[in-house]
């Protein structure tokens, strides 16, 4: 299947590392020109270099989207290198938060601003151009916890849980414009940081530290799913590439879980 991304420009927020880097690399492999985002100049350069070594097209952009001024800086950074943005993948977020006992008004506000308002700022910066061209793709990246939140970090799960509602509202607002809006909720992802954390945990417990053994431990004791595997960032990237593709033109306003069945819920 041809995804129709060869002539598209995609901005992936928070793509200097982890899941965002995996999404950026897959979109570039599918032919898109990818804008690799970091909060400041510098961190995105390594991901850009990796994409270019693989034969893809990528440019580093920056702006601290946690503030209005930072979002304006991102827009200026983007406009300095490309003439449009066709695809926005709002991947940036942070699993910040405390406990129900320790949470405060400021901690709730901070998590919502990081995980929701930052994404809305990016949409506001680039949606008008999509509307004028009659084509666009917007994706919000939430989490399995948007459906099945944990007991800790209530601020984070509360914020991420808002993204499916934001998705539906924005899809309705943009009806008939040629822009689709969808929400993708991954489960546990085998980013380098996650692999390092669980490998260290296995080492402390005297368990085998090869990834197959660590993965089995994670699935048995941390977050089981029905596939019996933990997804890597590029797995999430392939799913996002499908969502933003031309063949997925009729997919709109959806909350799509890619968690191997970990949410274990009907809706």
**Residue numbers annotated as active site:** 156
* Alpha carbon separation from 200 to 32, 139, 195, 208, 223 (Å, rounded): 37, 33, 8, 10, 17
Distance CA 243, CA 245 (A): 6
Q: How many helices (H) and strands (E) does the chain have?
A: 10, 7
Q: What is the side-by-side strand order in the sheet with 255-258?
A: 57-62, 33-38, 9-12, 87-90, 136-141, 179-186, 255-258
CB 36 within 8 A of CB 24: yes
Query: Residue 169 CB: number of other CB atoms within 10 A?
Result: 12
- DSSP state letter for 205: T
* Angle value at C-alpha 253, between 252 and 255, nearest 5 degrees: 110
CB 24 within 8 A of CB 34: yes
Distance CA 219, CA 190 (A): 12
């Amino acid at each position: 299947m041809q995804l129709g991304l060869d002539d598209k420009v995609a901005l992936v927020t928070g793509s200097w590392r982890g899941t965002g880097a995996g999404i950026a690399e897959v979109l570039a492999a599918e032919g898109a020109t990818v804008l690799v985002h970091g909060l400041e100049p510098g961190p995105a350069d390594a991901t850009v270099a990796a994409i270019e070594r693989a034969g893809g097209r990528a440019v580093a952009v920056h702006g601290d989207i946690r503030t209005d001024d930072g979002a304006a800086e991102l827009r200026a950074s983007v406009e300095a290198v490309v003439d449009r943005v066709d695809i926005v993948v709002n991947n940036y977020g942070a699993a910040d938060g405390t406990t129900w006992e320790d949470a405060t008004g400021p901690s709730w506000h901070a998590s919502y601003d990081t995980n929701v308002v930052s994404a809305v700022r990016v949409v506001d910066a680039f949606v008008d151009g999509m509307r004028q061209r009659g084509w666009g793709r917007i994706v919000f990246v939430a989490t399995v916890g948007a459906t099945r939140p944990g007991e800790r970090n209530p601020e984070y799960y509360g914020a991420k849980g808002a993204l499916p509602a934001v998705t539906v509202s924005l899809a309705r607002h943009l009806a008939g414009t040629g822009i689709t809006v969808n929400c993708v909720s991954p489960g546990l992802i085998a980013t380098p940081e996650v692999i390092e954390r669980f490998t260290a945990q296995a080492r402390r417990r005297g368990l085998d530290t090869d990834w197959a053994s660590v993965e089995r431990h994670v699935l048995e004791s941390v977050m089981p799913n029905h596939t019996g595997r933990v997804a890597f960032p590029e797995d999430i990237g392939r799913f996002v590439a499908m969502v933003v593709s031309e063949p997925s033109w009729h997919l709109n306003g959806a909350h799509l879980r890619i968690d191997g069945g970990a949410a274990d819920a009907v809706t």
